[in-house]
Amino acid sequence: MTGKASTKNDNRSVGTVPMRWHGDSLELLDQRLLPGEEHWITVEGAAGVAQCIRDMVVRGAPAIGITAAYGVALAARHCGSEDWQATIRRDMELLAASRPTAVNLFWALERMGQVLSACQSLHQARETLANEAVTIHREDVEANRRMADYALEVIGADKPVGVLTHCNTGALATGGYGTALGVIRRLHEEKCLRRVYADETRPWLQGGRLTAWELAQEGIPVTLNTDGAAATLMASGKVGWVIVGADRITANGDVANKIGTYSLAVLARHHGVRFMVAAPSSTVDMALQNGADIPIEEREAEELREFRGIQIAPPKVDVFNPVFDVTPASLIDAIVTERGAVHNPNITGMRSLFA
Break the chain into its structural domains and give their ranges.
19-142, 148-354
254 assigned to active site: no
Looking at residue 102, its pLDDT comes to: 82
pLDDT grade for 14, boundaries at 50, 70 and 90: low
pLDDT grade for 2, boundaries at 50, 70 and 90: very low
- Amino acid present at 195: R
Question: Is 220:196 a contact under the CB 8 Å cutoff?
Answer: yes
Looking at residue 158, its pLDDT comes to: 76
The DSSP-derived string for 219-239 is: T--EEEE-GGGHHHHHHHT--
| Gap between the Cα atoms of 169 and 283, Å rounded | 13
- Residue with the larger pLDDT of the pair 100 and 245: 245
Torsions phi, psi of 331, nearest 5? -100, 5
Q: List alpha helices for the chain, DSSP H.
A: 46-54, 61-78, 84-96, 103-117, 122-155, 180-189, 206, 212-217, 230-236, 261-271, 302-305, 347-354
Looking at residue 8, its pLDDT comes to: 35
Q: Does pLDDT of 7 surpass 80?
A: no
Average pLDDT, integer, range 110-139: 97
Torsions phi, psi of 115, nearest 5? -65, -45
The fourth-level CATH superfamily of domain 19-142 is translation initiation factor eif-2b, domain 1 (1.20.120.420)
Whether this prediction's pTM lies above 0.85 is answered by: yes
Average pLDDT, integer, range 66-70: 98
Cβ burial of 131 (10 Å; 0-12, 13-18, 19+) is: middle
| Gap between the Cα atoms of 88 and 78, Å rounded | 9
Average pLDDT, integer, range 299-308: 94
Average pLDDT, integer, range 164-189: 96
pLDDT grade for 9, boundaries at 50, 70 and 90: very low
Average pLDDT, integer, range 164-190: 96
Average pLDDT, integer, range 63-75: 98
Average pLDDT, integer, range 287-300: 96
Q: Does pLDDT of 201 surpass 70?
A: yes
Average pLDDT, integer, range 231-260: 98
pLDDT grade for 260, boundaries at 50, 70 and 90: very high
Q: What is the mean pLDDT of the chain?
A: 94
**Helix-strand-coil split of the chain, %, nearest 5:** 45, 20, 40
The CATH fold assigned to 148-354 is Rossmann fold (3.40.50)
Q: How far apart are the first and last CA of the chain?
A: 31
List C-alpha distances in Å: 346 to 15, 147, 254, 283, 326. 35, 20, 8, 16, 15
Average pLDDT, integer, range 133-158: 95
Average pLDDT, integer, range 125-150: 97
pLDDT grade for 140, boundaries at 50, 70 and 90: very high
Supply the DSSP symbol for 80. Answer: -
- Which one of the listed residues 91, 199, 247, 325 is annotated catalytic? 247
Q: Does pLDDT of 4 surpass 50?
A: no
- Amino acid present at 16: T
Average pLDDT, integer, range 56-64: 95
Q: Does pLDDT of 223 surpass 50?
A: yes
Average pLDDT, integer, range 31-59: 96
Looking at residue 21, its pLDDT comes to: 97
| Gap between the Cα atoms of 119 and 122, Å rounded | 7
